[in-house]
């Protein structure tokens, strides 16, 4: 198919169709490659016979230039010696992968006000930023995985490259589990870069309620009782409590 960008600097290929001559018929095609429309700065004209496709492998010391439009030109000859030409709309070499500007992160204020945590078991909001100034971000892949307590009902997602945030909904997250989302950004040459969130802890349950540490007369000498606590006078109130906990 017709592409605008490619990553390899050692391969150039071209396909065409639709040339014909009803009077004398086609004799052969010629192909050349240049940095200007119709030019041959990169590859001088060569005979392509009557095929409708051709390619060339460049040596390492003569690689295609990066950041320049490269045009293929086809010249069709009839058996009367006349010819006409058609030039492609060009392809640009981009051999660099996208760059991570902002790593994927759970969005604060949505589900939680504490970084890398969520109080929701059914939703998870993320944001990120990738950049590719040469060929732009074409597509993104998201994958949600669990790092504790295993299973999760979520498949990998493919979304357009311009999106910078996404919210998972109707997922079944588990309290106490840690989850990670990996985002992979691919540019128009097919080169990709991945980045992942830190482990995101899910905790939708309230802490366990404890009680005040009131000293009682008991046969057991409880070490939890501390002298001077749970007392008061005209200026001070000394309180102690115990038993408050959070499993997750």
Least Cα distance to 168 among 177, 155, 187 occurs for: 155
* pLDDT at residue 222 greater than cutoff 90: no
* pLDDT at residue 114 greater than cutoff 60: yes
- pLDDT band, residue 110 (cuts 50/70/90): confident
pLDDT at 228: 75
pLDDT at 88: 95
Read off the pLDDT of each residue in 59-78 and give the average, rounded to a whole number: 94
* pLDDT at residue 92 greater than cutoff 60: yes
Q: What is the pLDDT of residues 22-46, one digit of tens each?
A: 999 999 999 999 999 999 999 999 9
Cα dihedral 223, 224, 229, 230 sign: negative
**Does 5-93 carry CATH code 2.60.40?**
yes
The gap between the terminal CA atoms of the chain, to the nearest Å, is 53
Q: Where are the domains of the chain?
A: 5-93, 99-202, 207-248
Which CATH homologous superfamily contains domain 99-202? Answer: Immunoglobulins (2.60.40.10)
Record the pTM: 0.79
DSSP secondary structure code for residue 62 in this structure: G
* pLDDT at residue 150 greater than cutoff 60: no
Question: How many residues make up the chain in this entry?
Answer: 248
Q: What is the pLDDT of residues 41-60, one digit of tens each?
A: 999 999 999 999 999 999 98
d(CA 183, CA 165): 11
pLDDT at 212: 85
Query: Range with the lowest mean pLDDT among 95-99, 162-166, 217-221, 239-243?
Result: 217-221
The answer to whether domain 5-93 and domain 99-202 are alike in fold is: yes
**Secondary structure of 88-157 as H, E, C letters:** CCCEEECCCCCEEEEEEEECCCCCCCCCCEECCCCEEEEEEEEECCCCCEEEEEEEEEECCCCCCCCCCE
* pLDDT, mean over the chain: 90
pLDDT at 242: 85
């Amino acid at each position: 198919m017709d592409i605008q960008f490619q990553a390899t600097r050692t391969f150039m290929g071209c396909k065409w169709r639709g040339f014909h001559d009803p009077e004398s018929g086609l004799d052969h095609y010629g192909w050349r490659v240049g940095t200007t429309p119709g030019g041959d700065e990169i590859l001088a004209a060569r005979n392509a016979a009557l095929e409708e496709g051709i390619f060339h492998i460049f040596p390492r010391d003569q690689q295609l230039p990066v950041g320049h439009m490269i045009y293929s030109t086809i010249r069709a000859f009839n058996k009367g010696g006349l010819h006409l030409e058609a030039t492609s709309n060009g392809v640009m070499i981009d051999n660099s992968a996208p760059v991570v500007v902002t790593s994927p992160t759970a969005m604060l204020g949505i589900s939680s006000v504490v970084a890398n945590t969520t109080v929701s078991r059914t939703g998870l909001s993320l944001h990120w930023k990738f950049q590719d100034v040469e060929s732009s971000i074409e597509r993104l892949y998201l994958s949600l995985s669990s790092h504790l307590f295993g299973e999760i009902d979520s498949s990998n997602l493919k979304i357009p490259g311009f999106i910078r945030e996404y919210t998972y909904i109707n997922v079944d997250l588990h309290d106490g589990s840690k989850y990670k989302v990996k985002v992979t950004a691919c540019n128009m040459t097919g080169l990709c870069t991945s980045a992942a969130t830190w482990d995101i802890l899910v905790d939708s349950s309230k802490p366990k309620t404890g009680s005040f540490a009131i000293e009682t007369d008991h046969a057991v000498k409880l070490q939890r009782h501390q002298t001077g606590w749970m007392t008061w006078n005209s200026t001070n109130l000394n309180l102690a409590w115990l038993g408050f906990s959070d499993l997750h």
